[in-house]
Structures are given as C-alpha cells and as structure tokens.
Chain A
Amino acid sequence: MTNDLNQKIEDALKKVAFNPPSQNLKESILLAANNEWNKSEDDIIQIQPEQSATIPLFKFILSMAASLFLIFYSNYAAQKSVSPWKNIKPKPATIISIENVDISNQILTTFYVATLLKNKEKVKTQYFIN
C-alpha cells in the first residue's frame, strides 16, 4: 500500500518536466565566466607586494611594537641589572630620540635609548633592528 503510494508520487513527479538550462543561459553565463577567467590573470599580476597597502602598515606596527618592547625591556634591565653601579639606583629609561625610521624599505632602523643614572652619567645604548 505504502509502496503503491510512493510509486504514485514518483510517477506524478516524473510528469513534472524540469526544464534543463537554456542555450541562452549557457551562453550568457559562460561569457561572464570567461571574462572573469581573463581578469583573474590580470589580478594575479596586480597583486605585488609594493602595491599592497597592508605591508607598509604591517611594517609600521611591527616597528612600533619592537620599539615599545625595547623601551620596556631596557627599563626592566636597568632596574634588575647587577652592574658596577648596583648601588646606584637607576631611573627609568628615557627615550632621547627615534631616528632613521625607514619603514617602507626595511632599512636599518635605529633607536637610541638612553638610561639616565642618578650620578648624571648618561649611558647611551644603541639598538639595531633589521
């Protein structure tokens, strides 16, 4: 009984002709897709590192993160260091200058971090970041 009913529904559905995609649809879709295919090659050529806006930004963020790390690390090192001046309590590090920051070319970036000591002696530390 159930199988009869299933068969009846199947037969009814078979009568419903599902129209295959038309020739016009084929032509229009393939034309659009072919155009995109050609574009995709051009897109690959266009994506060059120099032209990407994200890379300079990334370099800049990386440089800033590196400089912050150096500041805090030098601070920490100055406070914890066992040095000839261990009786002299150092003051927190002070940035004197940040110069030659050339982000786009990743050239040598130099940071001057100086530690000012109590006895007014100025210790200059130079970090090179490639």
Chain B
Amino acid sequence: MSKISIDQDILTLMKDNNPSALELIWDHYANDLLTYLTSILKSRHNAEDVLQEVFITIARKSQLISKTQRFKSYLFKMTSNHAMDYIRKEKRKKSDANKKQQYTDLIGHSSSEEDEIIKEENEELINALKKISQEQRSIIMLKIFNDKTFHEIADFLNISDNTAASRYRYGLIKLKKFLKGFNHDK
C-alpha cells in the first residue's frame, strides 16, 4: 500500500472519530518519528517521551488534523514542534541528568553482548553524529538507520529532494571532520 493511500485511510478514520487511526499511524510512522525525534533531541529516552506527547496531541486534535491536506508533513512538523518545546523546557530545567546522556540514549536500550561490542566500536561515530547540525543529523539518521530515500525524507520534512541530498552530503563531510580515525585508514 502506498503512503498516500495510508495517509488517506488515517484521515478518513480520524474524520469518523475512530481511534484505530492511532494504531495505523504507529505502524507506519512510529519508527521514522522516533528516529527523527532522537536526531533532534540526541536522546532516545527523551525521544520516546516526546513521541508519547505527539500521539496524545494527535488523539486530542484528531478532528482538526483530519482536515489537513498533507498528513505526513503535518505529522513531522508537529513532531518537530514538540521536540523544540521539549528542548526549551529542558533548557529551563538545566538538570544535570541531561548532561549524562550516553551512547545508549541515541540508539535505544539493548542488553546483548554483541550490542555492547558494537557500542564500544562506534562510540566515536555516535559522538560525532551528535556534534553535527540537527537538520543534517536527522537526514543521515533517517537515511541510514531507517533506510529512507531522499524523496521520502524530503516528503517528511517538507523540503526538496536536492536539499535533502545536499544536507546529507554536507553532514557526512562534517562527520569526517569529527572522526579522526576515519581520516586515517581505519
């Protein structure tokens, strides 16, 4: 099923005031939204919190959202706004806990030994990823972690395909600067 018809189905369910729209949204967008939120917030844990807020907002404003033309863009814009609000709130709190965000925060919790080894090997890479701009990080993460095409990413973020591609390319160039190990033959 194409994304457009999924969006139409979601909007129809919302118009009919049918909460099963939430499950459909989750099945098709939760993974991308979580990656996008993680790329903005640089923390998997915070991203999960904000994802919950996003879904609650969808539930509360379902009738309003059902009138939108481009559901996908609306969803990602709303997610971005929630993330920005969260950052503003966190800045106010200035809690020390946030300073302790580590590698697991970015990729999610895992417990296997294999994951631990990958974690150690790629810590430099993840730290570098945290240092590049949010727009570039979002595109790199959606492209690589979620296997999205530039066209799909451009559609989510309401930008042109070329902008998505160039942000990705510049993002990789910036990553290289932060990755000393990669400049030598690793």
Contacts and interface: CB of A to CB of B under 8 A. Distances in A.
A37 B62 contact: yes
A71 B180 CA distance: 79
Contacts of A5: 176, 182-183
What class of interface size applies to chain A in its complex with B? 20 to 34
Contacts of B26: 26, 29-30
Interface string A13-26: 11111111100011
B22 A34 contact: yes
B122 A18 contact: no
A21 B44 CA distance: 10
- Most A Cβ at <10 Å: residue of B17, B31, B108, B118: B108
Nearest to A7: B172
B182 A19 contact: no
A82 to B, nearest CB: 57
A99 interface: no
A121 interface: no
Interface residues of B, number: 46
B107 A16 contact: yes
Contacts, number: 101
Nearest to B104: A19
A41 B107 CA distance: 37
A4 to B, nearest CB: 10
Interface in B150-179: 169, 172, 175-176, 179
Given A9-B182, A16-B125, A37 B144 contact: no
B186 interface: yes
Given A21-B48, A26-B26, A30-B23, A16 B122 contact: yes
Interface string B117-154: 01001100110010000000000110011100000000
Interface of B: 17, 19, 22-23, 26, 30-31, 34-35, 38, 44, 48, 51-52, 55-56, 58-63, 107-110, 115, 118, 121-122, 125-126, 129, 140-141, 144-146, 169, 172, 175-176, 179, 182-183, 186
Given A6-B169, A25-B51, A29-B55, 5 more contacts: A9-B176, A15-B121, A32-B56, A33-B19, A33-B52
21 contacts: A9-B175, A9-B176, A9-B179, A9-B182, A10-B172, A13-B129, A17-B115, A18-B107, A18-B108, A19-B108, A19-B110, A21-B34, A25-B48, A32-B55, A33-B55, A34-B19, A37-B19, A37-B62, A38-B19, A40-B59, A41-B17
9 cross-chain pairs, A with B, having the tightest CB-CB distances, nearest first = A19-B108, A18-B145, A36-B59, A37-B59, A33-B55, A33-B59, A37-B19, A13-B144, A29-B52
Interface of A: 5-6, 8-10, 12-21, 25-26, 28-30, 32-41, 43
